[in-house]
Amino acid sequence: MDYLVYVSHDAENLQFWLWLQEYTKRFYSAPPSEQALSLPWTPIDPPQTLGQDPSQLPSRTFDKQKIGVTQYEINFDQQDLPMSPAFDKQSFTSGVTNSNRSANESVEDAYAQAGLKWHSFTIQPFRSEINRVISHYLAPNAPRELNLSHKARAAVLHALQHTTHPSALSIVRDMVEGTLRGQSHPNFIRWSICNGNKPRVLFVRNSGIAHVIGAIILAVFLVLSGRSRWWRLFVVPLFLVGFSIGVAAYKGLCVIVHSTHCRGLRPWEQFGDAASLTSFDADDEATLSTDEVYSMSHRSKRAISMDTFGTSNSYDHELWVEKYKKKPLLQRIFTKQIWVQDETIRLLQDRIVIQSYIWSVMLTIPLTALIVALPVFHVI
């Protein structure tokens, strides 16, 4: 989760996906009488266009015998039904939104922007929870707004107007799962392989470039000085060191740190757990109750980021941000190190370092041969 919050800035995808998996289990664990109020969503036609009258839409049919329902009626005046007994109320109410508007107002605005003019069925099970999901993930400018196109957002909201069945979220589920599998997971593996933070990697990369430039300057000096060609072999160590650490740094690895199978601490890990706590300005605290402020002030960002409902995933309020900005450059480069515990990561790092050595040899041999073959000039 640290990678999604601090690096890729799209933790909302995993947060939504985890909620949907748990929500699906709770929905199918609900009594059949409650499930009958929220039928599966199987759209036949595209969702209505902006401003279209819902009464003009084609009628939707469901196979009632297939889902075990023979007769039911909906009372539009009835309030929201209570949540299923299996629902964890504490985890559901632990998060808070960073907006003064209620979830219902956010939902109404989202429906209005999508061109949907009528209200959803309040009698359906889990309707209050679905409204909170819309206000947190699906509504425009939501605290954890998912990256949805206007067409996909309108289609999902149109489905959620009719039912709270998990199938209504199939479009978002497929999009989020595709992003997590095809983008977030591969990028997380690449990020995990890096054993240094950005200042350290840039320092090592520039060191590799400096070694290569130094080898070229030495070669030019030896060629122009009229010395024996064998003196030019002194460029070999510089080329080998420069290319090896440069290629490894291109993959985010510091060869020196790798020799001990350690990695540098991430910026948010360098100041202890106390620095990972979230602080709030007066304007932010005004929107939270006393219990919520107390609860959030005693929980780490890791715990907050795992909540389904809460503030945005921004970490600008975290205490370590200002401390890290004030940290001297040398301390950012040469940070404390910890052991890489994952054996798979260590094996991947070993492979990258070996590849960097191979590339350095492949580049050094032809360059050295070219430098040695140059004629002698008595200029210097």
Residue type, 327: K
Residue 128's pLDDT band, with cuts at 50, 70 and 90, is: confident
* Mean local confidence (pLDDT), 204-220: 94
Each residue's pLDDT tens digit, 51-89: 444 444 444 443 434 333 333 333 333 334 334 334 343
What pLDDT was estimated at residue 305?
Answer: 65
Rounded to an integer, what distance in angstroms lies between the CA atom of residue 323 and that of residue 315? Answer: 13
Each residue's pLDDT tens digit, 177-199: 999 999 999 999 999 999 888 89
Instruction: Say if residue 32's pLDDT is above 60.
Output: yes
* Mean local confidence (pLDDT), 146-163: 88
Residue 158's pLDDT band, with cuts at 50, 70 and 90, is: confident
Tokens of 150: 């206007």
Rounded to an integer, what distance in angstroms lies between the CA atom of residue 87 and that of residue 31? Answer: 13
Residue 287's pLDDT band, with cuts at 50, 70 and 90, is: very low
Torsion of CA 280, 285, 287, 292, to 10 degrees: 90
Of 14, 8, 371, which is closest to residue 222 (Cα–Cα)?
371
CB 193 within 8 A of CB 345: yes
Tokens of 369: 């041969």
Total Cβ atoms within 10 A of residue 338: 12
Rounded to an integer, what distance in angstroms lies between the CA atom of residue 171 and that of residue 361? Answer: 50
Tokens of 210: 């400096």
Task: Report if pTM > 0.85.
Answer: no
Each residue's pLDDT tens digit, 9-25: 888 999 999 999 999 99
Tokens of 318: 């975290």
Return all residues near 373 (Cβ < 8 A) that are at least 6 apart.
Answer: none
Instruction: Say if residue 166's pLDDT is above 80.
Output: yes
**Angle between helices 150-162 and 170-179 in degrees, nearest 10:** 140
- Helix, strand, or coil (residue 92): helix
Higher pLDDT, 320 or 361: 361
The backbone region for 116, taken as left when phi is positive above 0, alpha when psi lies in -120 to 50, beta otherwise, is: beta
> With b meaning 16 or more CB within 10 Å and e meaning fewer, what string describes 72-83?
eeeeeeeeebeb
Rounded to an integer, what distance in angstroms lies between the CA atom of residue 237 and that of residue 326? Answer: 38
- The distance from CA 213 to its chain's CA centroid, rounded to whole angstroms, is 38
Instruction: State the sign of the Cα–Cα–Cα–Cα dihedral 88, 90, 284, 272.
Output: negative
